[in-house]
């Protein structure tokens, strides 16, 4: 494993997740059910967290496919359409269950990261919105996604 890359990625993942978890634990039950993202498909805080879970799992699948030399997303994949269908695909369990799922998903992400060989970090695949990126960039994208949606939630709640 490339220790420097793994350490740097782990620090970013830990920082963004810690900020998200700290913020989420301060929310009231009513805030969890408040619509914070519109765009014609209203998402509550629960929906946003379900999206983060689905997205991290999806990017982990991409990383696995990249390592094996496979395709990450099919031609013609529509990210906006995929995101719009979140409520149909995902359940939005209670906040406690969502928080547990965040921890479990991140533990799996870190487990896979620990299994990377030095030459895996630079392998690339197509991300739906960022284009061709390396496995290393995928991990930074996961961390950035947490940070962006933490701010979206804060803004949606007027905080």
pLDDT of residue 13: 96
3-class secondary structure, 124: strand
Q: Which of 3-17, 35-49, 79-93, 104-118 has the lowest mean pLDDT?
A: 79-93
Residue 39 confidence (pLDDT): 67
Range 102-106 average pLDDT: 96
- CB-CB contact of 149 with 16 (8 Å): no
Q: What is the pLDDT of residue 141?
A: 95
**Which carries the bigger pLDDT value, residue 142 or residue 54?**
142
pTM for this model (two decimals): 0.88
Mean pLDDT on 117-137: 92
Q: Residue 98 to residues 14, 53, 55, 114, 123: CA-CA distances in angstroms? A: 17, 8, 14, 24, 31
For 66-87, the pLDDT digits (tens) are 999 988 877 777 666 666 666 6
Lowest mean pLDDT among 34-43, 52-61, 94-103, 123-132: 34-43
CATH number of the domain bearing residue 39: 1.20.120.450
Using pLDDT thresholds of 50, 70 and 90, give the confidence band for residue 131: confident
Number of domains in the chain: 1
Residue among 43, 22, 18, 16 at smallest CA distance from 32:
43
What end-to-end distance do the CA atoms of the chain give, in Å?
Answer: 40
Under the banding of pLDDT at 50, 70 and 90, the label for residue 90 is: low
The domain of 44 spans 3-156
Beta strands in 39-111 (DSSP E): 43-44
């Amino acid at each position: 494993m490339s220790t420097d890359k793994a350490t740097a990625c782990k620090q970013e993942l830990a920082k963004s997740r810690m900020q998200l978890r700290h913020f989420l634990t301060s929310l009231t039950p009513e805030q969890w059910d408040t619509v914070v993202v519109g765009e014609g498909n209203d998402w509550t805080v629960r929906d946003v967290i379900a999206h983060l879970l689905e997205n991290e799992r999806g990017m982990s699948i991409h990383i696995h496919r990249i390592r094996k030399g496979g395709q990450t997303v099919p031609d013609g994949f529509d990210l906006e359409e995929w995101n719009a269908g979140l409520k149909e695909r995902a359940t939005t369990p209670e906040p406690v269950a969502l928080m547990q799922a965040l921890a479990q998903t991140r533990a799996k992400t870190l487990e896979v990261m620990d299994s990377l060989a030095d030459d895996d970090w630079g392998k690339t695949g197509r991300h739906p919105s960022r284009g061709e990126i390396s496995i290393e960039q995928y991990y930074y994208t996961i961390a950035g996604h947490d940070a962006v949606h933490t701010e979206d939630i804060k803004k949606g709640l007027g905080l």
